[in-house]
Amino acid sequence: MSEGGQIKVLIVDDIPETCDYLSKLLHFERDIQVVGTGSSGREGVERTHELRPDVVLMDINMPDMDGIAATEKIMEVAPGTQVIIMSVQGEQDYLRRAMLAGASDFLVKPFSGDDLANSIRQVFKRRPRVAEVKPERTAEEKGAAMGRVISVFSPKGGVGCTTLVVNLAVALKLEQPEKRVAIMDGSLLFGDVGVLMDMRSERTINGLVSRFDQLDADLLSDVMVTHSSGVKVLQSPLAPQQAELVSADHVRSILQLLQRNFHYVFVDTWSSFQERVLTILDLSERIVLVTTLEMSTIKNVKLFLEVAELLQYPPGKIVLVANYGDARQGIPVREVSRNLRFEVSATISTDGRAVTNSVNRGVPLVLAEPGNPVAKDIQALLQQLLIGMGIVEGEDEEESADKRRGGLLGRLRRE
């Protein structure tokens, strides 16, 4: 931000009249300052590197380099800068491409001055505070400290485990941008983390398995893919037959390497009691056990809790979460707890349309709609996990609410 506390904005459009018009729209916004303009995508990248604006208004169709390509470059040279793509076309494909490139919002021309100013303020609030981020350290520099592993599991498929993993990881990265956050797609047969985050890289866990004798932090970095949020992702195999090449020993060593190189590791799993899945669960500090409010899922969850008891998992390791927690369409949560003799610690609201749109666009819900009830519930679950692991201190209900309202998570909830 500028010294006066204003949001610095760079306008990039190949039509000079448009740059002038947008500058005039923002002229009377006391908290926003236009620091420069650019007439092409390439110039927009250069001026971003020079001026370090907080927000770039980027037209999508420009000579020499379009707005999508320019946004990708800006994410590399100035990752703390937020980009708002502007276009006369509002098709979903344009929106998806913009978000994949790293844009934070998408405005369809023509738009009002209020819409423009509000968009700038909203993306500025959600920006990662890169200035506070310290360079990544090697495993040796980090000493013996080990990352916290949180796995999401259900003995019943189709209950939303992958959605929870992706959104929990991104929400944590938004709240603690200085921390290294990773996702391991441990659903080896049919992993969907890459789909939910709109990643198209062919780099997967098999790249580690094929060079297992060279397994180290450098190889791990080469194989992992970086999401626009800053979360690093180790993707599952591209085909089910490739999953057979990944053994339980591979899973153990790779997950331990992730622990040594990240503060937090979220792991997606699949509905199985295979050794590879149990290895993940054994190494996890917390298991988010997902149920829905229907009898077939509850029955399977009860069986898993019996297995967990035989495995002598310590108290507190399992956190039971009711997804799609609408009692009007299922068994009441208190009845689920009574039936399982295990407390349901959190519930996630039902909003099938918003979740489906998020999945289809490849944009995590906590980014696409942070004010959505589902996103709010996931953010609350994250806080509960952090408190339970002693990472943040618990407070009484009133103090906790005040703190959330004053912090980043509170701001996300009000948007």
What does the pLDDT look like over 256-285, one tens digit per residue?
A: 999 999 999 999 999 888 889 999 999 999
Q: What is the DSSP string of 130-168?
A: GGGPPPPPPTTTTTT--PEEEEEE-SSSSSSHHHHHHHH
Output the pLDDT for position 312: 87
Distance, in Å, from the CA atom of 9 to the CA atom of 135, rounded to the nearest integer, reads 26
Name the token pair of 363: 């944009």
When pLDDT is averaged across residues 146-174 and rounded to a whole number, the result is 93
Distance, in Å, from the CA atom of 227 to the CA atom of 182, rounded to the nearest integer, reads 10
Q: 397: pLDDT confidence band, cut at 50, 70 and 90?
A: very low
Residue 89 CA: distances (Å) to CA of 18, 63, 86, 92, 110:
16, 17, 9, 9, 10
User: pLDDT at residue 297 above 60?
Assistant: yes
Task: Confirm whether 7-127 and 148-414 share one CATH topology.
Answer: yes
Amino acid letter, 206: N
Q: Which residue has the higher pLDDT, 51 or 64?
A: 51
Q: 1: pLDDT confidence band, cut at 50, 70 and 90?
A: low
Q: What is the mean pLDDT of the chain?
A: 84
264 neighbors 169 (Cβ within 8 angstroms): yes
Query: What is the length of the chain?
Result: 415
Q: 199: pLDDT confidence band, cut at 50, 70 and 90?
A: confident
When pLDDT is averaged across residues 339-363 and rounded to a whole number, the result is 88
Amino acid letter, 383: Q
- In which order are the strands placed within the sheet that holds 286-291? 225-226, 232-234, 181-185, 264-268, 148-153, 286-291, 318-322, 344-347
Distance, in Å, from the CA atom of 409 to the CA atom of 226, rounded to the nearest integer, reads 23
Output the pLDDT for position 256: 94
What percentage of the chain reaches a pLDDT higher than 70?
85
Instruction: State the CATH class of domain 7-127.
Output: alpha beta
Q: Per CATH, the architecture of 148-414 is what?
A: 3-Layer(aba) Sandwich (3.40)
Q: 251: pLDDT confidence band, cut at 50, 70 and 90?
A: very high
Q: Which residue has the higher pLDDT, 311 or 133?
A: 311
Output the pLDDT for position 93: 64
User: pLDDT at residue 328 above 60?
Assistant: no
Output the pLDDT for position 145: 59
User: pLDDT at residue 144 above 70?
Assistant: no
What percentage of the chain reaches a pLDDT higher than 90?
47
Q: What is the pTM of this model?
A: 0.63
Distance, in Å, from the CA atom of 320 to the CA atom of 289, rounded to the nearest integer, reads 5
Per residue in 353-384, pLDDT (tens digit) is 888 888 888 899 998 888 999 999 999 999 99
Per residue in 100-120, pLDDT (tens digit) is 677 888 888 888 889 899 999
Q: Which residue has the higher pLDDT, 93 or 225?
A: 225
Name the token pair of 195: 């789909």
Query: Residue 375 contacts by C-beta under 8 Å, 6 or more apart in sequence?
Result: 167, 171, 365, 366, 369, 412
User: pLDDT at residue 414 above 60?
Assistant: no
Q: Where are the domains of the chain?
A: 7-127, 148-414
